[in-house]
Structure 1
């Protein structure tokens, strides 16, 4: 199995990607450690985070192989390359740009472009997307997943936007291979207070929701 497929398999097995978008980059490593302690092994650090590349390098170096650290909010091939050089193990985008997918693959890491319509999802998959981020997922809802997967069951879809700790399992039941979760995991008040136990429990609750759905 090549590196790219191995990374993708580990992300899908984990069932959830924590989307971390924080103004205070200094707290981000502690947040990543808490999420990992709660069972989340895929953490996406968005480019909207201050000094994102340095943060990715720091977190990837500190967490090692135990956590798959990726980059999110990528809008160009050049940013994808910079993030991968900093240690990102996968590239997530809010939109589908073939050149970003190609750049990720050039470095043997998975590409997860954001798509919204069935045509766009299929086009991204045919362009080599390893997994398609359906975004914003709360606009289309779970019935959309079932409807799209009925004629195209080979698609690998991950909802982002509108996924909560409670409904994560419902997205898995609707056909998602994994879920992307941001604000539902990252309790701002708890982070501000340094109460990382809340994040650990949020991560555990998310894992339980996904695992219960997969066990059915």
Structure 2
């Protein structure tokens, strides 16, 4: 898998959907609801029970329409397991050179977690293309804006605490995209079997983010499959 295809899909849609703590029986309905809302990049976190089975199911059923990834990848063993299950990219809450090295060997995208300029620069030295600013909600929009002063060439994806109240601000501050979990994967709606809520939320997040970024081509239609 060409990692640049994943990066392109992230940039075009502006959203990585983060699935955490849901049931295996729900994953395909969640993915289809997200897809209908315009999401093309989805991750299942590795602290979700049954995450490998979920990744396998997504790769089998949605792999021609969405890019499937794994989140909360803390070590190279887990990275290898999720790749074997069908993951095309991984995210982590930390900067782990061993995970990065393995993903480079597999020619797959890795998005490590960073919180300081030092970590961002270290990630660049390790050959990382995109970083995850975590926890973005606690660090704040102003923090992102200020670190992009000297590091404005860095593709930064804020994750943690992203919601409809601040997504436009993060886009305005220069976020490459955002990762959205609980604010998008509405567990009450899932419990009620009302997956259209997730579709509507996905459209709102994508539309808001891309309108600020000026990507009207994708925003207007929320259409077209990525080159997967």
Which bin holds the TM-score, normalised by the shorter protein? Answer: over 0.9
Contiguous gaps of at least 5 residues in structure 2:
216-228
- Residue 64 (structure 1) shift: 2.1
Q: In structure 2, what is the equivalent of residue 199 of structure 1?
A: 198
Q: Deviations over 1:182-212 (max 9, x none)?
A: 0110111110010001111000111111121
Q: Which of structure 1's runs of 4+ aligned residues deviate more than 3 A?
A: none
Q: Take 2:157 and 2:140, find their aligned partners in 1: how far apart are those partners?
A: 12
2:17/2:179 contact within 8 Å kept = yes
Q: Take 1:60 and 1:29, find their aligned partners in 2: how far apart are those partners?
A: 10
**Residues 93-112 of structure 1 correspond to what in structure 2 (within 5 A)?**
93-112=92-111
Q: Take 1:197 and 1:166, find their aligned partners in 2: how far apart are those partners?
A: 21
Q: In structure 2, what is the equivalent of residue 168 of structure 1?
A: 167
Instruction: Give the TM-score, by structure 1 length.
Output: 0.96
Establish whether residue 65 from structure 1 lines up as the match of residue 64 from structure 2: yes
**Residues 39-188 of structure 1 correspond to what in structure 2 (within 5 A)?**
39-188=38-187
Q: In structure 1, what is the equivalent of residue 27 of structure 2?
A: 28
Q: Take 1:131 and 1:117, find their aligned partners in 2: how far apart are those partners?
A: 14
Q: CA RMSD in A?
A: 1.3
Q: In structure 1, what is the equivalent of residue 6 of structure 2?
A: 7
Instruction: Give the TM-score, by structure 2 length.
Output: 0.91
1:16/1:40 contact within 8 Å kept = yes
Q: Take 2:190 and 2:59, find their aligned partners in 1: how far apart are those partners?
A: 20
- Residue 72 (structure 1) shift: 0.2
Taking a change above 3 Å as real, the CA distance of residues 36 and 166 of structure 1, as seen in their structure-2 partners, is farther
Q: Take 1:130 and 1:121, find their aligned partners in 2: how far apart are those partners?
A: 10
Q: Take 1:60 and 1:130, find their aligned partners in 2: how far apart are those partners?
A: 23
Q: Take 2:22 and 2:213, find their aligned partners in 1: how far apart are those partners?
A: 34
Q: Deviations over 1:108-167 (max 9, x none)?
A: 111100111111111112212221101100111111111111111111100001111342
Q: Take 1:166 and 1:50, find their aligned partners in 2: how far apart are those partners?
A: 30
Q: Deviations over 1:51-81 (max 9, x none)?
A: 1111101111100221111000000011111
Q: Take 2:194 and 2:102, find their aligned partners in 1: how far apart are those partners?
A: 38
2:44/2:55 contact within 8 Å kept = yes
Aligned residues: 215
2:70/2:89 contact within 8 Å kept = yes
Q: Take 1:125 and 1:165, find their aligned partners in 2: how far apart are those partners?
A: 30
Q: Deviations over 1:18-51 (max 9, x none)?
A: 0100241210111011011100111011001111
